[in-house]
Amino acid sequence: MPFEHYIQSGGKRLRCGYTTGTCAALAAAGAARLLLGGRAPESVTLTTPGGLPVTAAPRYCRMAGETACCAVEKDGGDDIDATHGALIEARVERAAQPGVVIDGGPGVGRVTKPGLDQPVGAAAINRVPRRMIEQAVRAVCDALNWDGGLRVTICVPEGAALAKKTFNPQLGIEGGISILGTSGIVEPMSMQALIDTVALSLRQARAQGAARVLLTPGNYGVDFLREQGLDAAGAPVVKCSNFIGDALDEAAALGFADVLLVGHIGKLAKLAGGVMNTHSRYADCRTELLCAHAAVCGASQKTCAALLDAATTDACIALLDEAGLRAPVLDSLLRAVERHLVRRAAGAYRVGAVLFSNEYGLLGRTASAAEMLAEWKGKKQ
């Protein structure tokens, strides 16, 4: 049964899909229902973190000895990627200890490098999907009055082959794909439609009288702004996705006076190299840039080699901490970020950047960002 939720994008009506995390949670619920209730469900339903209900008919739901196995087919909607059509399987069995234990089986990658969403050695099932799986299984347990423990193993039969078409090998995730998703839903949008959406949001903000704006690539940035209280600074928040250069150009055309870019270091580190479209398919120079700035700041050859081999920017920060170089390297990186932002703005407005990490929190801000935030706070008071 296809997921019947649509969006308008680029003048087209496009069908949304759902993530591997949603599939895993649906499959886990189906397997738990078979194991505890004795009957295979014809369909399984959950509400995604984004608030949309998803119902899927399992491709199969059967017992294998004492283990219940249920598989749900990944539906990417009109945003077809490497995992579209893949079977995401959950194997559920009773456990001696209470609670729900989640792990990955064949076709789900294992983390081999630090700095990813999960620790080294863990299955590459991210935090939100893990929460979705646990909630889906607990809901079945509550409905069937089961208070014992369950072990859930997520598998992807073709995962090892599919992983070769993803960035997992470069990230240090071996043996399969990752189980991902923050909203649980995949929204298909063309590149031009995304850029048009960013431009529209900026036009609306300017039309309402805003002279300053907070740009952030996505949901992580929105959450950070909220946690830091920056969303109350009196400036509208506009999500610009990976299209930072396009957003900066639109801000100039609309006559904004102040533009503050707030984002995860994994995205904004690329600005230090002048990369203004931060999608990994266009450029992934994060560790190379951090390595270059570390070398300028006196890092050893060993540290530089480790930085180049790091899977994520969080892993790079840990390496810089070990070398006692976090502060000077980030200061050097931020100066480079500011130079490229100022060059792109071309005098049209004042521009700055704030970097953060989900693991380390606030990492730093450019000099102009510090000035803007101090002024904004003073005006608000």
**At 154, which CATH number?**
3.30.2110.10
pLDDT band at 143; cut points 50, 70, 90 = very high
- Residue 263, domain member (yes or no): yes
The 10s digit of each residue's pLDDT in 266-312 is 999 999 999 999 988 788 899 999 999 999 999 999 999 999 999 99
Query: Model confidence at 30, in pLDDT bands (50, 70, 90)?
Result: very high
Rounded distance, CA 261 to CA 353, Å? Answer: 5
What percentage of the chain reaches a pLDDT higher than 70? Answer: 97
pLDDT classification of 200: cutoffs 50, 70, 90: confident
Residue 141 banded pLDDT, cuts 50, 70, 90:
very high
Question: What pLDDT score does 381 carry?
Answer: 36
Is residue 105 domain-resident? yes
> What is the average per-residue pLDDT within 47-70?
96
Could you tell me if 148 and 261 lie in one domain? no
Tell me the mean pLDDT in the region 24-43.
97
Q: What pLDDT score was predicted for residue 251?
A: 97
Of 179 and 228, the structure prediction assigns the larger pLDDT to 179
* Contact (CB, 8 A) for 114 and 198: no
- Asked whether residue 157 carries a pLDDT value surpassing 90, the answer given is yes
| pLDDT band per the 50, 70, 90 thresholds, residue 365 | very high
DSSP letters, 309-346, are H-SSHHHHHHHHHHHT-HHHHHHHHHHHHHHHHHHHHT
Instruction: Give the pLDDT confidence score for residue 1 in this predicted structure.
Output: 64
pLDDT at position 38 over 60 = yes
Q: What pLDDT was estimated at residue 231?
A: 78
What mean pLDDT is predicted for residues 347-373?
Answer: 95
The pLDDT confidence band at residue 9, using thresholds 50, 70 and 90, is: low
pLDDT band at residue 7 under the 50/70/90 scheme: confident
* One domain for residues 242 and 369: yes
pLDDT at 380: 53
Q: For residue 1, tell me if it sits in a domain.
A: no
What integer pLDDT is reported at residue 171 of this predicted model? 81
* Domain-terminating residue out of 186, 215, 243: 186
Mean pLDDT (the chain, rounded): 92
Number of domains, the chain = 2
Rounded to whole angstroms, how far apart are CA atoms 357 and 317?
Answer: 9
Closest CA to 166 of 152, 177, 175, 151: 177
Is the Cβ–Cβ distance between 89 and 139 less than 8 Å?
Answer: no
pLDDT confidence tier of residue 40, bands split at 50, 70 and 90:
very high
Higher pLDDT, residue 190 or 196: 196
Same domain for 181 and 262, yes or no, is no
The mean pLDDT of 311-336, rounded to a whole number, is 97
Asked if 229 and 180 sit in the same domain, the reply is no
Q: Are both 181 and 203 inside the same structural domain?
A: no
Domain final residue pick, 128, 155, 186: 186
**What pLDDT is recorded for position 244?**
96
For the packed helices 20-37 and 127-143, what is the interaxial angle rounded to 10 degrees? 20
Give the domain extent around 168. 6-186
Alpha-carbon distance values, 325 to 29, 262, 296, 338, 366 (Å): 47, 23, 11, 20, 18
- Of 186, 202, 219, which one is at a domain's C-terminal end? 186
pLDDT > 60? residue 325:
yes
Q: For the chain, percent helix, then strand, then coil, each to nearest 5?
A: 40, 25, 35
The pLDDT score that the predictor gives to residue 252 is 97
Task: Kindly state the average pLDDT of the residues 110-126.
Answer: 91
Q: Same domain, yes or no, for 80 and 42?
A: yes
Q: What is the torsion angle, in degrees rounded to the nearest 10, for the CA atoms of residue 342, residue 345, residue 351 and residue 356?
A: -80
- 212 and 157: one domain? no
pLDDT at residue 96 in the model: 93
Tell me, yes or no, whether 108 and 136 share the same domain: yes
Instruction: Give Cα 69 to chain centroid, integer Å.
Output: 28
Does residue 130 share a domain with residue 45?
A: yes
Give pLDDT tens digits for 159-188. 999 999 887 887 889 999 999 988 898 877
229 and 302 belong to one structural domain: yes
Considering the domain architecture, whether residues 145 and 239 belong to the same structural domain is answered as no
Whole-model pTM: value is 0.70
pLDDT of residue 10: 60
Regarding whether 265 and 180 lie in a shared domain, the answer is: no
